[in-house]
Amino acid sequence: MNLDFIRHRLLRQRQQLLARYRDELERADEELSSRESEDVERSTEQWDAQVLSHLGDTDAHALGEVIAALRRISEGTYGICIDCGEPIAESRLAALPAAPRCIDCADDQRVTGRVRIAR
């Protein structure tokens, strides 16, 4: 497994997620600067809600997973399932470089909502 390549992919994904967030904030600032001062306070709250809903839980979750994967690379635990401690298949990591769990633990969590305990 080429950790430098995976690290580069994760850093690029993190940059894309943060750029999306930054772009939304810039659009909000542009919109607010064109409004009258009395409308700004009301508009600010509306834009905050729109930005957060646009990014949504999916992007926030994805960013958290990318950051956690980069941390695991630095700590030397990348590629080890955070639940059972078994190696994560390289094919899974190639498809989902931020994957924190092996396929069995990920399926268990998705189906039951429960986390496996390390053996």
Residue 87: beta bridge partners? 80
Sequence-distant (≥ 6) Cβ neighbours of residue 30 within 8 angstroms: none
Q: Are residues 63 and 98 in the same domain?
A: no
Domain total in the chain:
2
- Same-domain status, 12 and 64: yes
Q: What pLDDT digit, counting tens, does each position of 38-51 carry? A: 555 555 556 556 65
Share of the chain above pLDDT 90, in %: 43
Same domain? For 66 and 87 the reply is no
Which residue ranges of the chain lie beneath pLDDT 50?
119
80 bridge partner residues: 87
- Note the pLDDT of residue 109: 84
Residues 20 and 66 in one domain: yes
> Distance (Å, rounded) from C-alpha 19 to C-alpha 36?
28
Task: Specify the pLDDT at position 108.
Answer: 87
- pLDDT recorded at residue 43: 58
Cβ contacts of 47 within 8 Å, gap of 6 or more: 28, 31, 32
98 and 59 in a common domain: no
Alpha-carbon distance of 20 to 63, in angstroms, equals 11
What's the pLDDT at 23? 74
Q: What's the domain range around 62?
A: 1-78
pTM: 0.68
Give CA–CA dist 105/54, Å, rounded: 30
